[in-house]
Structure 1
Amino acid sequence: MYAVRATHLADQLLDTMPADMATKIQAYDWHQAKVVERGKDHVLLIADDLAVARLPRRQDPELERKMRLLAELDLPWRVPSPLSALGDGVLQSFIPGTAHPHRVGDAATLANIIEVFDNYDTSGLSLGEPFAQRGRLTQQQLAALDRVVDDGMAWAIAEHVHAWTDEGVGKGLVHGDLAGHNMHWVDGQLVGILDWDYAARWDTALNATYLNLWHGVELEAITDVPHRARVWSGALGLYALADALSWDVSPGGWRRLNAKVQPRILAAYQALAHAED
C-alpha cells in the first residue's frame, strides 16, 4: 500500500528535477524503502541517499501550505524540499544524518540554534497557528488534571502559556518539535531540520524547551529566558498527563510517567514567579 502510493508520486516529479535524479527515483523499487511509522500524522518511506516519501495517514488540507513554508525558509541547515507534485502525499529530498544521542549535547551549539530561531524574520512565512498540534488545555482537561496535579498548578501554568500566546510574548519562529529525530546530525554538526508541520509564529522559548528535554543541557546555558522555557516544559508535561488520563494506563506506566513529568510541572510552577522578569 505505502509503496504503491510512493510509486505513484514518483510518476509526478517536478519539472525542476535534474534528469539523472528523476531517472533514479522513477526506477527505484519503493518496496525496498525503509518504513518509519513513529509519526502520528504521516508515514515515511525512506530511500537512502535518494528521496523520502511522506504519506499522510489521513487527508491533510494543510499540506500545500506546509510545502510552501519549506520553500520559503532560508536557514543555515537543510530542510526537506518537495520533489513531486502534491497528491496522496509528497516526495521530498533526502537529508543525511541521524538523531543526536539523547541526554547529551554541546551548550554552545544548542544556544546558537536557539539564537538563529530567535532572530529569524518570520514576515511573509506560511506558518501555522500556535497550539495547532494539541489545542489549548481545556477546562475539562484541567479539571481532570486536578486529580493528579496538586495545588491548582495545572491551571496556573495553563493560564500563563495561554496568556503569553495571546499577548505575543517572545513571538518568533518556533519549529514545534525541535528535537530528536527531527534534527539530523553528522559528526556532531547539525545538517538538517525535518518535520515543520507545526511551525508557528509563537513564543521562541519553546525551541529551548524542546532542546532541553532531548539533550538534557541546562536551560540557563542555552537561552536568555530559562524560566519561561521551564514553564513551557511543565505545560508539555500537562499534555502528557492529560493524554494518559484518557488511556488505560497500567500502574507501572503511571509511576514512570509521573516520575518523568511531575518534577517538570513543579519546576514550572515555581518558575512562574520569575518567568516574566
Structure 2
Amino acid sequence: MPAARAHRLAQQLLPEVPTDLAEALATYNWYDAQLVERGKDHLILLADELAVARIPRKTDPQLARTMQLIDQLELPWMLPTPLSAVDDGVLQTYIPGTAHPHGVGDPHTLANIVTVFGEYDTTGLALNTPFAQRGRFTNAMLTALDAVVADHMAWEIADHVHGWTDDGVGAGLVHGDLAGHNMHWVDGHLVGVLDWDYAARWDTALNATYLSLWHGVALEDITTTPHRARVWSGALGLYSLANALTWDISAAGWRRLKKKVQPRVVAAYQALPHAED
C-alpha cells in the first residue's frame, strides 16, 4: 500500500529535516494524503503542504541517483529535494504552484529558462544517459514508421539526432520533459521544476523543444538554435507515431494523432539543412 510505504519513509527522515517538519511528518496519517496517479513510473502522495511521497510502481534502481542529482543542483527554482532515505520510495519537499496553462507563455520568461539550463555546468552531476526514457530509434521502429511517414523522413531525422548526441552537439543540462506538470507556476512565475528522472547531459536544444510544444511559443523567440530544436520536435513526434503503431488505436484516434504530429515531422525534415548552421 502506498500509504504504508510513505509512513515507513516518514520514520527514516534525513537529519537535516527541520524539527517542526520532522515532527509533523512522523505523526501524519498518510491514509489521508491525496493520491496522484498521473505518472507512469511513480505514484505520488501529497501530504497537504508538508511533503510529497514518491512511490515507484515497480523497483526503480535509478531513484537514488535522481535524489543525488537533485541534491547537487543549484538552480533559481525550487527542487523536490529528498527529506527521507531512499527505501522503495522517498519523501520530497512540497513545491507550491500548478502547471502553466497549455498553449500560452511569455517568450522572455521561457527564453530565460532555456538560457539557465544551457549555461549550467554539468561537471560531476549524477545524470542519466541520453535516450534513457524512450531509447534510440531502432531499424525495426524506423521500418515500421515508413508505413506512415513518407520519403524515409524518419530515417533522416533519426540519423541526425543520433549523430548530434554521439558527437556531443549542444551538450549541457537537459531536463528530459520540461513542460506541463513538471513545472510549477504561481502568478506567471516559475516556482519549481519537478521530475528529474531523465535529466541528462544532452543537446540543450531539447529544453526549448519541450517548452515550445507545451506553451505554443515560436522556437525562434526562446532559443538561438531553433532549427535543431525543431528537428528534435519532429523526433519526439516520431516516438508518438511509433508507439501508436503498437496500440489497438481507433481510426479516428489515428487520424487525430497524425494531424497533430505529421506537420512537426515535415517541419523537422525541412529544418535539417539549416540545423547545423
Q: TM-score, normalised by structure 2?
A: 0.99
CA distance, structure 1, for counterparts of residue 160 and residue 37 of structure 2: 34
Q: Does 1:263 align with 2:272?
A: no
Q: How does 1:8-157 map to 2 (within 5 A)?
A: 8-157=8-157
Q: Cα deviation per residue 1:26-63 (whole Å; 9 max; x = unaligned)?
A: 11111111111111111111112100000111111111
Name the aligned partner's letter for residue 235 of structure 2: A
- What one-letter code is carried by the residue in structure 2 that aligns with 1:132? A
Q: What SS does the aligned partner of 2:38 have?
A: coil
- Counterpart CA distance in 2 for 1:119 and 1:68 is 21
Tell me which residue corresponds to 1:179: 179
C-alpha RMSD of the superposition: 0.6
Structure 2 CA distance, aligned partners of 1:157 and 1:134? Answer: 16
Corresponding residue number in structure 2 for 1:227? 227
Counterpart residue identity of residue 276, structure 2? E
Return the alpha-carbon distance in structure 2 between the equivalents of residues 140 and 210 of structure 1.
26
Aligned mates of 1:34, 1:252 — CA distance in 2: 35
Q: Mapping of 1:210-221 within 5 angstroms?
A: 210-221=210-221
1:178-207, Cα deviation, whole Å (9 max, x unpaired):
000000001110000000000000000000
Q: Secondary structure at the match of 1:97?
A: coil
- For 1:240 and 1:27, locate their aligned partners in 2 and report how far apart those are by CA, in whole Å: 44
- 1:165 deviates by 0.1
Partner Cα separation in structure 2 for residue 252 and residue 12 of structure 1: 50
Q: Give yes or no for the alignment of 1:237 onto 2:237.
A: yes
Deviations 1:250-276 (A, max 9, x none): 011101100110000000000001000
Residue 131 of structure 1 deviates from its aligned partner by 0.2
Alignment-derived partner of residue 193 in structure 2: 193
Compute the displacement of 1:222 (Å). 0.3
Higher mean displacement: 258-267 or 7-16: 7-16
CA distance in 2, matches of 1:48, 1:212: 32
Q: Distance in 2 between matches of 1:20 and 1:252?
A: 54
Deviation of 1:88 after TM superposition, in Å, equals 1.3
* Identity level (%): 70
In the alignment, structure 1 segments of 5+ residues that lack a partner are none
User: Which piece of structure 1 moves more, 10-19 or 173-182?
Assistant: 10-19
Length, aligned pairs only:
277
Q: How big is each residue's C-alpha offset from its partner over 1:141-187, in whole Å with a ceiling of 9 and x where there is no partner?
A: 00000000011000000000000000000000000000000000011
Select between 262-271 and 24-33 the one with higher mean Cα deviation. 24-33
Return the alpha-carbon distance in structure 2 between the equivalents of residues 105 and 7 of structure 1: 39
TM-score of the two chains, using structure 1 as the length reference: 0.99
Partner deviation per Cα, 1:6-28 (whole Å, 9 max, x = no partner): 11111111121111111111111
CA distance in 2 between partners of 1:160 and 1:113 (Å): 25
Q: Structure 1 segments of 4 or more deviating over 6 A? A: none
